[in-house]
Amino acid sequence: MVDVGRSMFDVHFSMKKKGIGMTDQLKINPLFIGLDDEGLLRIKEIAGPREIKKGESLFSQGEEAKGFYLVLRGRIKIYRLSPQGKEYILRIVGPGETLAEAAVFSGKTYPASADSLEDSRLYYLKKSDFVRLIRQDPQLALNMLSGLSLLLRNLAQQVEDLSLHEVSSRLARYLLDQAFKNDFPLVNGVQIPLEVKKNLLASRLGTIGETLSRTLTKMKQRGLLEIKKDAVVIQDLALLKEVAEGAKL
């Protein structure tokens, strides 16, 4: 999630992550940045490949957390279910990103569930093997602390968004975040693909489909966006940034 408090809409911080090998994926992941070639090799030696199909479950809320994952290809939905069965999406994880690392080191069970949104390829890192490497490599231990701190900050930002910001602001933040994640230039006319269907996006933003549709329509009417089937085109970047910061539509 973009930290707008640091004006990160104007700072390029991401790298292209699609279509690259495991070594390159490791090098750009916060958990493994700074490791030398020998350290990266040790990570690869303990990583077991896993292929999962679209819609397949990776793990379920409450299941024993024995390891975590690095995504090489595809997208994984992290979500929780309310007692009434309503799904709330916490994160959507893509290539070059890890998932479930916090659960492995902070508790005995996964606090959320994970399903594949498309055919995906991942690498599984067993907790016991990874802990052994941490004991051998102080850099890896520091990276782990940094990565968990970043995850905590992002979750805190997400809670703030849901409690303090309107749907229009959350949507604007999401679109700008997608531009960064996909290495798109932040200019008027840039097309941002929607990574999930609108009903899933609504859940990710903490709202319902009807409210999301009304918000998109209002943004179109105000000249912020052009709406396509599976994407939006930014037409007024300056105003979109203002909305992301909390300005009213």
Please say if the pLDDT value at position 67 is more than 50.
yes
Q: Percent of the chain having pLDDT more than 90? A: 35
- Mean of the pLDDT values across residues 147-168? 70
- C-alpha of 121 from chain center: 16
Q: What was the pLDDT predicted at 233?
A: 93
Tokens of 24: 């390159």
- Mean of the pLDDT values across residues 198-211? 85
**Dmax over Cα atoms in the chain, in whole Å?**
57
- Which residues make up the CATH 2.60.120.10 domain(s) of the chain? 12-162
Global pTM value: 0.68
What's the pLDDT tens digit per position in 29-60?
A: 877 877 788 888 889 999 999 999 999 999 99
- Which residues make up the CATH 1.10.10.10 domain(s) of the chain? 165-244
Q: Percent of the chain having pLDDT more than 70? A: 86
CATH of 165-244, one of 3.10.310.10, 1.10.3720.10, 2.40.50.100, 1.10.10.10: 1.10.10.10
Give domain 12-162's CATH superfamily: Jelly Rolls (2.60.120.10)
